[in-house]
Amino acid sequence: MVHTWSSLISTLFLLLLCITGLPLIFHHEIDELLGYDPKPEIAQPGAVKRSIDEIARTALAHDPGRVLQYILWDKDEPNNVIAFTNNKVDGDPDAATLRAYDAHTAKPLGSVGGGPMLIFLKLHVDMFAGQPGKLFLGAMGFLFLVAIVSGVVLYWPFTRRLSFGTLRDKSRRIAWFDWHNLLGAVTIAWALVVGATGVINTLAEVMLSQWKANELTDMVKPYAGKPPPVHLASLDVALENARKAAPDMNVSFVAFPGTPFTSSHHFAVFMRGDTPLTSRLLKPVLLDGETGEVSDARDLPVYLKALLVSQPLHFGDYGGMPLKIIWALLDIMTIVVIVSGLYLWVVKRRKHRSHAIAGQPALQPSR
């Protein structure tokens, strides 16, 4: 019963997640192919990188009337400087524009993201329904986890007499039943990990608000009641100070005062390490918005670290192209499990009904 209902309620949305997730595994490659992933020009030997202040000015001139929210450095493309602009510092994330600038020439290279992959991403993350849509999909993901666990319990009565990996072709129903069991059984661990990390991801905003309400508020206590900065400090000064505060780390992105990732008084420079694991674990350095002096630097709380480490386990983008291909195959196997499960339910219902008509009891164990 638990298996049937947790699966049935979430089936449609799980299919949506699996199908939209499939191209998203390769979004980097597809964006590159379609021109939504601009590349920097090949730098002249000995070329010097432009100041970030200059790139910030270029970005603002490129999108007049807008403000900068974030400047981000791609880990794999250090010569791309990506600027987020929006109509307000705390504007709607969907209204943000992302453009890449060449680190050596400050030339605009084109917009980042967008195109068909953005549509897939929106469908996958919140179905264009904002935070409620996101939390709803989180609930569907949770039902997916319930369906997997209840499926493991049911596996015993249904396969007790069969050896592992039995595939019979006695009838269409039995063939689908065996495929459902085999594909379900071999993908349990992967599906649990991808499902659980997906659910954790739907709570990202909730965790961020939690951090802002507790840790961040505590870090910026000395600034409570002060007006927001009027003249912003030089970004180059702020970045230099942030690097000194976290000497073994690199800059991942800087959040401008008033954006969701920092206080209204501070630049937050998020630093990352350089191993596969530490590059996910960001450390925020808060700097006074007017002077660019370091005010505080603390590690993120455990729940945000868990979120950051869990993200690659959902995306499958952390082990090269072979891992992405395997991710896609496992995703397709999960689609087969979902569709075959639905098929088995429909067939069983039909059988129940015809038995009821003939006045015979249904002989199958109830699921």
Partner 1 sequence: MTDARKLRSSGNWWTVYGGPLLIGVLSVAGLLTALLSEGAGRYFSWIAVGAPVALTGWFFARRKRR
Question: How many of the chain's residues bind partner 1 (CB under 8 A)?
Answer: 36
151/292 with CB nearer partner 1: 151
116/319 with CB nearer partner 1: 319
The kind and range of the H/E element at 68 are strand 67-73
Select the span of 3-11, 87-95, 290-298, 311-319 touching partner 1 (CB under 8 A). 311-319
Interaction mask 318-337, partner 1, x per CB under 8 A: xxx-xx--xx-xx--x----
Q: Is 200 in the site for partner 1 (CB under 8 A)?
A: no
Tokens of 26: 């390769």
- Least separation, in Å, of the C-beta of 200 and partner 1? 15
Closest to 271 measured CA to CA, from 106, 40, 73: 73
Interaction mask 160-199, partner 1, x per CB under 8 A: xx-xxx-x-x------------xx-xxxxxx--x------
Q: Is 232 exposed, middle or buried (0-12, 13-18, 19+ CB in 10 A)?
A: middle
Per CB under 8 A, which of residues 136..155 are in contact with partner 1? 152, 155
Cα dist from 9 to 128, 347, 350, 356, whole Å: 20, 17, 19, 25
270, 253 in Cβ contact below 8 A? yes
Q: Is 312 in the site for partner 1 (CB under 8 A)?
A: yes
The kind and range of the H/E element at 327 are helix 320-358
94/274 with CB nearer partner 1: 274
Among 44, 46, 156, 359, binds partner 1 (CB under 8 A): 156
* Chain centroid, CA 7 distance in Å: 23
208, 90 in Cβ contact below 8 A? no
40, 217 in Cβ contact below 8 A? no
Among 4, 51, 111, 159, binds partner 1 (CB under 8 A): 159
At position 80, the amino acid (one-letter code) is N
- Least separation, in Å, of the C-beta of 280 and partner 1? 8
User: Cα-flanking dihedrals φ and ψ of residue 70, to 5°?
Assistant: -145, 150
Per CB under 8 A, which of residues 262..301 are in contact with partner 1? 275-277
Q: Residues interacting with partner 1, by CB under 8 A? A: 152, 155-156, 159-161, 163-165, 167, 169, 182-183, 185-190, 193, 275-277, 309, 312-313, 318-320, 322-323, 326-327, 329-330, 333
